[in-house]
Amino acid sequence: MSQISLYDGDLPDGLDLGPVVAVDTETMGLNPHRDRLCLVQLSSGDGNAHLVQIRKGQTLAPNLKRLMEDPAVLKLFHFARFDVAVLYKALGITCAPIYCTKITSKLVRTSTDRHGLKDLCKEMTGIELSKQQQSSDWGASDLNEEQLKYAASDVLYLHQIKEKLDALLEREGRRELAEACFAFLPARGKLDLLGWEEPDIFSH
């Protein structure tokens, strides 16, 4: 049974989550210009989740920032483009280095267009994720048990998924390309925040 720890405003001092940390965020909606950051979820891959509740108007989380910017710790996301932009806008965090399971999936699972976390988790680990709480009120001052379980589930399996995707990256010879994409993600997030998500600066 996984343990879920909830913290108010920041990670506790001295928490060591190892060299690869799975990260996800919950926001009021999917527009990073409008919708505020409410929760940051992290896991070291040991089956436990650490959740940081971000309060309305909060602009600093020093321990979280230190971890997310630590060059010795790989931050593991699914659809990093959104999370990276939100963390930068809300808390001034520039995440690096980064690994994104969604980008990797698109690079190596080219026979399918199903690259969502639910599909990826089912195929790579056999675990069925519930998405029931996806659109719940993450801005509530007190999050309920179902919300906490849902939020935790988004980071608990990313290490296992990464392991499977890494094998495919090696097999298909696309690791270098993937790493170039990951390195660009902080800039991609800033382009989105500046209004270049549509039209995309890379489109014709």
What pLDDT was estimated at residue 161? 98
pLDDT < 50: residue spans in the chain: none
What pLDDT was estimated at residue 57? 96
pLDDT 10s digits, 166-185: 999 999 999 999 999 999 99
Closest CA to 97 of 61, 71, 126: 71
Say yes or no: domain 4-187 is CATH 3.30.9.10.
Answer: no
The domain spans of the chain are: 4-187
What pLDDT was estimated at residue 198? 86
What pLDDT was estimated at residue 163? 98
Predicted TM-score (pTM) of the model is 0.96
* 185 CB-contact burial (10 Å; exposed 0-12 / middle 13-18 / buried 19+): buried
Torsion of CA 45, 76, 150, 49, to 10 degrees: 40
N- to C-terminal Cα distance for the chain? 50
